[in-house]
Structure 1
């Protein structure tokens, strides 16, 4: 899977598009809002974008997140989650999407419990320094960009990590095994 030479940051949350738009014009930040753009077209734009930071609101794991939360909220069977995982893996392998360097999660304390476990348990458990909570404010997110710290990358074996999600229980996600 390819990696951009820019630091790619996905802003996630209810106000992500507004916050990303509010970052437009900052020095060394290329802010891209997906809006109504087709996913594949937008992913290609992100892949071509240059700048120290490329910040956007199009989470490549959104379908996996939605299927995982639906499964653990009891509104879906495991099948849609398994399909979402396989589709995400196929897109990652084919370089149609890339995992970001960081996720900035807006207002995590206001998220539904299972969604909060996705961000601060599943993803932060896989790569703790790569998930950063922040208020829904462009200046506060801009400040977080300047404080991003290096840390381990996403798991080397993405397939195993993602395929294990149906057995990753929300209130245990991100905790040490045992």
Structure 2
């Protein structure tokens, strides 16, 4: 799986595009909003960007997160999570998607419980220092960038981790014996 020379940060949340727009012009930061670009087009833009930090709002695991949330909330059709996982695995393998170094999750307290567990349970459980909550403002995200700490990256076996997501149960993620 490809890693870039810039530190890539996905800003996630309802106000992500607005917050990222407020960060344009910061020294050593390239702030990019997805707009109408496809995920593959965004990957191309992000991989060509050169700055210490590249911030964007195109979560490469967005469909997986939606499907995981729907799987446990009972709103995704049977097999929907598995389809989303296999699509992500294929796109990551083909380098049409690139995992970010960090996720900054805007206002996680305002999310539904299952969605909050996706961000702060499943993703944070896979890479604890790589998922950071923040208030939804450009100033708060700027401060969050200053405080990002190093830690393990995503699991070495990303494909196996993704395929194991149906066993990552909300309210139990990260606990011993917490698989379904």
1:3 touches 1:98 (CA, 8 Å); kept in 2? yes
Residue 127 in 1 paired to residue 98 in 2? Answer: no
TM-score (norm 2): 0.96
Matches within 5 A, 1:72-111: 72-111=72-111
Q: How far apart are 1:176 and its partner, in Å?
A: 3.6
Count of aligned pairs: 178
Runs of 4+ that moved beyond 3 A: none
What are the ranges of 5 or more consecutive residues in structure 2 without an aligned counterpart?
none
Moved more, 39-48 or 93-102: 39-48
User: C-alpha displacement at 1:167, in angstroms?
Assistant: 1.2
Indicate how the Cα distance of structure 1 residues 149 and 176 shifts in structure 2: closer, same or farther if over 3 A, else same. Answer: farther
- Paired residues of 1:78 and 1:166 also in contact (CA < 8 A): no
Residue-by-residue CA offset, 1:105-154 (whole Å, 9 max, x unaligned): 00000001100000000000011000000000101101110110000110
**Is the aligned partner of 1:32 residue 2:32?**
yes
Structure 1: gaps (5+ residues): none
> What is the root-mean-square deviation of aligned Cα atoms in Å?
1.0
Q: TM-score, normalised by structure 1?
A: 0.97
